[in-house]
Each structure stands twice: as structure tokens, then as C-alpha cells.
Amino acid sequence: METTGHHTCSKRNGRSYILDHAPFFAGFNEKTHRLQFLGAGYYFWDDNIEMATKWGEDHYNNEYCILECKLNMPGGIFLDLVGNRSHMRYFRNVAVKYAESGYAREKWSLGSFIEHLKMLEKDRPGIFPFKVIRAVDLLPRDEHSKWYFVSGKRNYTLLDPRIVICITEKNALILQSKKIVYESL
């Protein structure tokens, strides 16, 4: 699968630095003592420049650039928790197995669990071979994109979900091209 990824970053080091070094790694946050959404990696919004802009306004004090990248997400290393039911079942089953062996799932954030699986992969290849992870980031404020299926019922879909992509390692197979598409004033 291929998609366009939007990566928001600080513009403080200039355009040439960004083009040479971006995307930038997001790991454990020392200030908040938290991991990222899907663990450590390089983060993109899935074809959503509006969300990349909002992220820049909120997290970079309007001093940011948006990098647009063509992302190749090949089977075997791509865990799609958005549009692939078998991937969702696989991940849920792994979580259930860990819960059955004594790990309390509710105590783990998704990012912590993914980091744990990445550590296990080093000793037991094949348990978590994924280098690209895609998931929906839901917040209650997503009300604006709700579209109800039937009037008077609670069932709905989101027409503008925030889909986040985490790449665990930079390489040319996954990250095929990049360009700066926006720089704040």
C-alpha cells in the first residue's frame, strides 16, 4: 500500500536541514514521561495536511514546516490497524495471549505494548516484524466529522478520521520521496 504522509516539524534549523534529516524521530518524552501513540518512531498524518497544520500550530508555536512524503507500506512489515481486519485480529490476539499469561492489558498504553513487542522481536524474530504501523487517533472533539447512518440512531462513521502512521526505521523502501509543502511565516 502507498500513501502520502505529512510530517510536522520545527523549522528552527532551516529548510535544507529539514530536507536532509527529516522525518525526525519521536521517542520517550522526558517532560511528560510518556511514550508516543504507537511507540517510538517517525510519525506522519495519513494524507492529512490539515491535521499536520493543526499539530504545528499547537505543538510548534506556529514555527513549523510540513514535509510531504510518499510512503510505501509493504506487506509483511505493515501493521494496518485502520483498514485490515486480519491485522486488527492478530494484534488483539497477541494482546489477549499476554493478558492470559498475567499481563494486565489495561495497565499498558498501546505505545508501551508495541515497544514491549519490539523488544521481544529482537530475541524471537517473527513475533512483531512490523516497521510501519497505522492507526486511527480518536478524540471526543471529532464530532464535526461524524455522519450518522440513520436519523435518530447512534451509529455513525467519521468522514475525516485522524489517521497516524508510525515508521520504526527510516529506509528508502518505505520513505520514497519527500518535499516541504508548507512553512509557517
Kindly list the domain boundaries of the chain, sorted by start residue: 2-79+130-139+158-183
Per-residue model confidence (pLDDT) at position 122: 92
Distance CA 34, CA 136 (A): 19
Amino acid at 48: N
Per-residue model confidence (pLDDT) at position 157: 85
Residue 62's closest CA among 143, 144, 183, 170? 183
Residue 159's closest CA among 143, 150, 174, 147? 147
How far is residue 7 from each of residues 35, 75, 133, 175, measured CA to CA in Å? 18, 22, 15, 12
Strand pairing partners for 43? Answer: 166
3-class DSSP state of 83: coil
Pairing of strands 41-46, 162-167: antiparallel
Which residues of the chain are under the pLDDT cut of 50? none
Long-range pairs, 96-101, Cβ under 8 A, ≥24: none
